[in-house]
Structure 1
Amino acid sequence: MKIGLKWIVSFSVIALVAIGGLFWNPTADIPDTGEFLSEDKIVGADVAWILAAAGLVLLMTPGLSFFYGGMVGRKNVISTMLQSFIALGVISMVWVVVGFSLSFGESLGITIAGKHYGIIGNPLSYPFFSQVGNLPNKMMAPTIPFILFALFQMKFAVITPAIITGSFAERVRFISYLLFIVLFSIFIYTPLCHMVWHPDGLLNKYFGVKDFAGGTVVHMSAGFAALAGALVVGNRKNPHHEPSNIPYVLLGTGMLWFGWFGFNAGSALSASASAATAFGTTTIASASAMMTWIFFDRINGRSVSALGACIGAVVGLVAITPGCGFVSIQESLFIGFITAIVSNIMVNWKPLKKIDDTLDVFACHGVGGIMGMILTAIFAHGEKASLLHGGLEVFLHHMAALVLVSVFTFFGSLILYKLTDSIITLRVSEESENKGLDLSQHEESFS
């Protein structure tokens, strides 16, 4: 087998990263800057819960690989699953080297009326997890070790680019995909994460965006990147296929639903009432969306299917994510119900069907994230009042932020796809596409 220069360069980069980390200061040398609290401030119950939650969120990425893998054609199962699974390796390394710094490092941004609003973190704040140790950070998570907070957040960074893969499944070169997700993580995910979740972030501090667990940061960004990807890569030569393995989709949905408790309830960053609320609203919204999806399908003359039930459940999980800790059980029922209808309509909308978003990532994750952001601004309880509680300003800020995030993630991703394609061609050859990516990219087959 001929080994191309791109593979040698890729291996060399990984080697440099692995060796380079040895030259950074160990976490034991954390200076007393006032950024960290003493170890006696750690709450054991919070540590135990976030350790468990981080493990649950990690499980979501393999769950996603089964969810997507079961939907594609038989000759692309392995390649589709690997595109999700490989993010555990690629993005974890990016996160340690520079991703965490860009997301939660010292805030760099703009000053408005004498107040600083962050757009991205300083890449030199925590390179190679330098200064990320066992002491709690008083601004980020004051009751758990800072390293646990960093690792918990890493799982969110991992699954976000993995979600995008469903839009261009069955036609993208593996090495090109690896380059794209590195670029996406650095230039789209980290600034968005910083702006929404860092205490000094622009969307957090100025717009007052309420995103409890990632409806904006994860699902909207992935959804719009998916739409851009489908447009850039183009339609498949044979866009019609039968799902290869519906039991895989069911298994993946179960793993996603189970892991989503860590995703949402874990975002409370404590073993608290807020975590319990998020736990409850998460499962109820998903149940509501699942049942709404299958009955709405039947009313519209389509069969009640296992595939539809699974898609509905995931749409409900997406929709409740931004508001899971801010809304009641009763409101989560409605959020799942209305989002399932809107998303179902978008999945079957003819103009959108002309874009070959293979697994309807935009219609499910993008639209689900948009609906979640809007409905959070309508129903959320708490310090910053939502629309139903007299908070017109919060609602308008959410709508402005929605437009800003949509434009940034769509056009930013469009540029990154074009850049990736100029370095390493994104699309496989027609021959490789007809053969299937399992064999043409990996020399493996699904039997």
Structure 2
Amino acid sequence: MDQGNTAFILIAAALVLLMTPGLAFFYGGLVKAKSVISMMMMSFGALGLIGVLWVLYGYAIAFPGSSGTLGPWSIDGAAVGLTSVLEPAEGATYPPLAFVAFQATFAIITVALVSGAIADRAKFGAWMIFAGVWATVVYFPVASWVFNFGLAEDGSFEYGGWITHGLQDVFGVGAIDFAGGTAVHINAGAAALALALVLGKRVGFQKGVHVPHNPPFVLLGAGLLWFGWFGFNAGSELAADNTAALAFVNTIAAPAAALLAWLLVEKIKDGKPTSVGAASGAVAGLVAITPACGSLDPVWAIVLGLIAGAVCALAIELKYKLGFDDSLDVVGIHLVGGLIGTLYLGFFARDTGLFMGGDASQLIVQAIAAFAVLGYSFVVAFVIGFAIEKTIGFRVKNEDEIAGIDTVVHGEAGYVLEDAKA
């Protein structure tokens, strides 16, 4: 048992778990002051619910071993309740439970990301039902498409998902998704778009009406996200080695470049660079580098960051032109950024990218992976959200939205400036 790698994975898991409270601050600062509690609670609700479901059956679906190589939905019955992974196999370099813990944090943050599209207008109970069902029928299976590992005879993990191993059998190369560009960001972004369409626009939706109530919260959240993202990306190597170090450096370079690119676009377009723009740019770069962090030279990571920062800064305007209310730009940042990072690998991935000595095969499999996840997640999320809306209702009443849903849904206010009893 390698205690160094075990410690590395466990620390990385703790970093990724911190990303969900970080996301709560990031999202919480972006909404109205009267719905900050509601927004942050959707992240914490996901943390509680998905953490439990992962132990009960989520891991068994996401990592069914060889039984899930090509199938879209499989489950390892022995892993339900984690009973089959309590003890490491002989020769294992780290406990399977360390890997279980690490992947649990991915499931939690992915579900929490979706909530940003329905800010200011969603019922908490309906959100929790959606989160549980979507995680079960979308995230857990999609994670198996991308990350599914089986235990080899020597106790190590080996690839088995159809997006990686299956496409490699057909095209000679598998899709590259080092830390979750498809399974996390495209997946969450597509579901966010579906829910934005199901719930409809906020009252008075138009450009400039809904402004962030607390930019310092946004910056705090972005900082926590960036800090946690080192565990997200470098930790996905599952070993403290040179590839992890490359992923770590790229997780500095790409978001830094994206931050600058976003601010430049803001300056040119609106005349002023904003703090929210800086935070959003950094997150866009983090999203884009996620699938690519272990497969790009640092200079190409900077180029990716510049592209992602500029394109995502422009993409967030699409909701006004196309008429869908993605409240906190989950589509413009996570879906678009995830697509950019995933497809970029088809051109610049080390050795296999079209411009790096390879042929079009890498680009083809990257596109197949990206759009398969996008289509599946969007359709299923729309069906789940529509069913909830038509039964128990997903959206609060307009008058509650206008009044502020914190007190209506949670009986609390985000900011109590004086003692009510005084």
Q: TM-score, normalised by structure 1?
A: 0.86
SS in 1 for 2:272: coil
Please give the residue correspondences for 1:80-99 in structure 2 after superposition, counting only pairs within 5 Å. 80-99=39-58
Q: Which moved more, 1:197-206 or 1:345-354?
A: 345-354
Deviations 1:179-211 (A, max 9, x none): 000011111101111011112211111221110
Name the residue aligned to 2:95: 145
Q: Which moved more, 1:317-326 or 1:348-357?
A: 348-357
Name the residue aligned to 2:329: 360
Give the distance between the partners of 1:194 and 1:59, measured in 2 at CA: 24
SS in 2 for 1:86: helix
Quick check: 1:65 aligned with 2:16? no
Amino acid at match of 2:134: F
Give the distance between the partners of 2:406 and 2:286, measured in 1 at CA: 30
Give the distance between the partners of 1:436 and 1:394, measured in 2 at CA: 48
Say how many residue pairs are matched: 395
Quick check: 1:124 aligned with 2:77? yes
8 Å Cα contact 2:193-2:331 kept in structure 1: yes
Q: Structure 2 vs 1, CA of residues 136 and 352 (structure 1 numbering), >3 Å: closer, same or farther? A: farther
Deviation for aligned residue 1:296: 1.4
Pick aligned residue for 1:105 from 64, 88, 95: 64
Quick check: 1:203 aligned with 2:163? yes
Name the residue aligned to 2:192: 226
Name the residue aligned to 1:395: 363
Give the distance between the partners of 2:9 and 2:274, measured in 1 at CA: 35
Give the distance between the partners of 2:354 and 2:59, measured in 1 at CA: 34
Q: Which moved more, 1:272-281 or 1:403-412?
A: 403-412
Structure 2 residue runs without a partner (length 5+): 149-158, 168-173, 416-422
Pick aligned residue for 2:248 from 263, 279, 284: 279
SS in 2 for 1:125: helix
Give the distance between the partners of 1:347 and 1:73, measured in 2 at CA: 18
Deviations 1:106-161 (A, max 9, x none): 4445xxxxxx62323315131111112240598xxx42100010010000000001
Give the distance between the partners of 2:321 and 2:166, measured in 1 at CA: 34
Name the residue aligned to 2:7: 48
Name the residue aligned to 1:430: 398
Quick check: 1:178 aligned with 2:128? yes
Give the distance between the partners of 2:220 and 2:90, measured in 1 at CA: 37
Deviation for aligned residue 1:68: 0.4
Name the residue aligned to 1:317: 286
Give the share of equivalent positions with the same residue, in percent: 39
Deviation for aligned residue 1:232: 0.4
Name the residue aligned to 1:191: 141
Quick check: 1:160 aligned with 2:110? yes
Q: Which moved more, 1:197-206 or 1:72-81?
A: 197-206
Deviation for aligned residue 1:62: 0.2
8 Å Cα contact 1:107-1:119 kept in structure 2: no
Q: Structure 2 vs 1, CA of residues 296 and 169 (structure 1 numbering), >3 Å: closer, same or farther? A: same
Amino acid at match of 1:48: A
Give the distance between the partners of 2:227 and 2:120, measured in 1 at CA: 28
Amino acid at match of 1:193: A
RMSD of aligned alpha carbons:
1.5
Q: Which moved more, 1:342-351 or 1:146-155?
A: 342-351
Structure 1 residue runs without a partner (length 5+): 1-41, 110-115
Q: Structure 2 vs 1, CA of residues 51 and 352 (structure 1 numbering), >3 Å: closer, same or farther? A: farther
Q: Structure 2 vs 1, CA of residues 327 and 310 (structure 1 numbering), >3 Å: closer, same or farther? A: same
